[in-house]
Amino acid sequence: MEILDKKNKKILYYLDINSREPYSQIAKKVGLSKNSVILRIKELENKGIIKGYYVYINNYKLGYQAIRVHYTFENTTPEIEKNIIDYLTDNKYTLLIARTYGDYNLSVIFMVKNIYNFYQIWQAINQRFGHYFKDKRISHYLKEYHFRLSYLYSDNDKSIINRKYDVCGGGDVIEIDQLDYKILQIMANDARIPLIKLSEILDKTTQTIAYRIKRLHKIGIIKRFGVLINLSIIGYKSYKAYLQLNDFTKKNDIINFAMKNKNLSYIDFTIGKSDIELDYHFRDDSEFFNAIGDISKKFPGAIRSYSSVTIPFLHKERLIPDYS
């Protein structure tokens, strides 16, 4: 059996829509028996294709702010760069640390409660390593669109390919209690954890836990239960394009056009140098540059310039901030 035959692709797709869905329901959707689905998922886990199951949380509604810094190094050695990365990895406010190839060397996302909190972190990093940074680019996240795994499917599978996405960001801050936070923290590491196990850990009834999860979903804090996939094993890489516009009246048109590409994984709305940020999963560089070229051809003169990076691997990937 191929690692990613059509059935496995469908399994991954439905796990990404709702990784808490029962095996029996996934089996009906992909046309297999429940036992076959269980065996296939176990194989995908054992081969490292499935890295885990996550909760996509709208941390903005919990009062958090996401700030990204792109670092460009100078006068470093592999040992110095490792020291920088280790220091950032140990920082409880870093959510993601990505090695990048292209216009920047390292991308770091911080999740903080307020801008002064970030400034203190910023100062501490600069005092320790500032002389190794040729450039530092800050972007403040406002909103993000997170798309489904449509790129796993062929163009003729119209029952699967769509451009559904989840939106994080905006809206009022919502207060939740410690039990809700504990549920989020536990499920962030295992979104498929059974209710009965959650109830045992938290010493609450399954009915209470089920109600809390449903409520967190209803009020927009839990957006989706998804699956983490090791892209390199299935032959894909992450790419990111930062577009700067000449014609801002075309911004929404460009975004709507970009959304038609099945390989688009995120659109980030930020305050910073870029006017539009597009994240993709592609097999190779030519596919990525063709996608950006298609946008330029569709909207001649609208894009002033763009920069880009590939993301070969992550040094740190946390799905929730430190809620303490």
Map tokens 């009020």 to a residue: 219
Determine contact, residues 291/236, Cβ cutoff 8 Å: no
**Tens place of pLDDT per residue across the chain (324 aa):** 456 898 999 999 999 999 999 999 999 999 999 999 999 999 999 999 999 999 999 999 999 999 999 999 999 999 999 999 999 999 999 999 999 999 999 999 999 999 999 999 999 999 999 999 999 999 999 999 999 888 887 545 555 555 688 999 988 999 999 999 999 999 988 999 999 999 999 999 999 999 999 999 999 999 999 999 999 999 999 999 999 999 999 999 999 999 999 999 999 999 999 999 999 999 999 999 999 999 999 999 999 999 999 999 899 988 888 887
Percentages of the chain per state (helix, strand, coil), in multiples of 5: 40, 30, 30
Cα distance between residue 87 and residue 89, in whole Å: 5
Which pLDDT score, from 0 to 100, does residue 321 have?
86
Q: What is the DSSP letter of 22?
A: -
Gap between the Cα atoms of 52 and 16, Å rounded: 11
Q: What gap in Å lies between CA 103 and CA 239, rounded to an integer? A: 12
Q: What integer pLDDT is reported at residue 1 of this predicted model?
A: 45
Phi/psi at 78 (nearest 5 deg)? -55, -35
Residue 83 main-chain phi, psi, to 5 deg: -65, -40
What CATH number does the domain located at 60-143 have? 3.30.70.920
CA neighbor of 49 nearest in space, from 171, 149, 198: 149
- What is the predicted pLDDT for the residue at 35? 97
Model pLDDT, residue 158: 52
Predicted pLDDT of residue 156? 53
**pLDDT on residue 150:** 85
Q: What is d(CA 118, CA 66) in angstroms, rounded to the nearest whole number?
A: 10
Residue 157's pLDDT is 54
Beta strand 303-317 pairing with 237-245: antiparallel
SS3 annotation, 262-285: CCEEEEEEEECCCCEEEEEEECCH
Burial 118-156 (b: 16+ CB within 10 A, else e): beebbeebeeebeebbeeebebebeebbbbbbbbbbeee
